[in-house]
């Protein structure tokens, strides 16, 4: 919990009809492809906090290192 702010990235310009599941699937797919052939223990995205009215999301990762690599 203490590192949550360091394990999140902001993503703006999210389509108005996008869902949290679609955003998580998109980032999971992109990150998995970028890290290939390295395998992670679980999915790269832990949770997505979506504000569909303002078209942005915060994507939370399991580690600070993975979050930093995604930036």
State pLDDT tens for residues 1-13.
789 999 999 999 9
Cα separation of 45 and 32, whole Å? 10
pTM, to two decimals: 0.86
Label residue 66 exposed, middle or buried (CB < 10 Å: 0-12, 13-18, 19+).
Answer: middle
Q: pLDDT tens for residues 20-61?
A: 999 999 999 999 998 888 777 889 999 999 998 999 999 999
């Amino acid at each position: 919990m203490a590192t949550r702010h360091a394990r999140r990235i902001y993503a703006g310009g999210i389509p108005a009809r996008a869902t949290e599941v679609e955003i998580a699937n998109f980032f999971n797919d992109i990150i998995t492809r970028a890290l290939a052939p390295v395998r992670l223990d679980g999915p790269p995205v832990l949770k997505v906090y979506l504000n569909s009215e303002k078209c942005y999301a915060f994507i939370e990762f399991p580690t600070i290192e993975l979050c930093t690599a995604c930036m």
